[in-house]
Amino acid sequence: MSESKASVTWQENKAFMGVSPSGHNVQIDADKEKGASPMELVLLGLGGCASYDVVSILQKSRQDVTDVRCELTAQRAETTPAVYTDIHLHFVVTGQDIKDKQVEKAIHLSAEKYCSASRMLVAGGVNITHDFEVIAG
């Protein structure tokens, strides 16, 4: 098992500076004035994790991918804690002669095997769904 260390330091009001295990600064703000809120970062983390997987898998399957965008839509519980209950990931994959079957396979492998953020959220009861579109270009 590997260990990661990060830190979050209060700046003012509801603003904090996070330092990732790799040493990168991330501005966090519950008021969303100076940075993304903690829950927005969870959503972005999921999108980044899944997108990395999809790009990597498509490249390994020799698909000529020029762009991948993941658009996330999420619903949160009405009561505290206002956790995400449902998250939908819509992938827009651009490239030449991209095969739908390869995109579908890449998304499935990410969701079921590789994306640790997705697996962790699903284990916590979040309903995560996916779809995609392919654009020639």
Over residues 47-80, the pLDDT tens digits come to 999 999 999 999 999 999 999 999 999 999 999 9
The domain that holds 1 is classified in CATH as 2.20.25
In a shared domain, residues 32 and 86? no
In a shared domain, residues 7 and 54? no
In a shared domain, residues 32 and 43? no
Q: Binning pLDDT at 50, 70 and 90, where does residue 137 land? A: confident
Residues 6+ apart with CB under 8 A from 122: 128
In a shared domain, residues 88 and 129? yes
How many domains does one find in the chain?
2
In a shared domain, residues 102 and 91? yes
In a shared domain, residues 29 and 60? no
Residues 6+ apart with CB under 8 A from 130: 50, 88, 89, 90, 91, 107, 111
Over residues 96-119, the pLDDT tens digits come to 999 999 999 999 999 999 999 999
d(CA 40, CA 49): 14
Residue 41 pLDDT: 98
Residue 24 pLDDT: 98
Instruction: Print the domain residue range for 87.
Output: 38-136
Which residue stretches of 17-95 are H helix?
Answer: 38-60
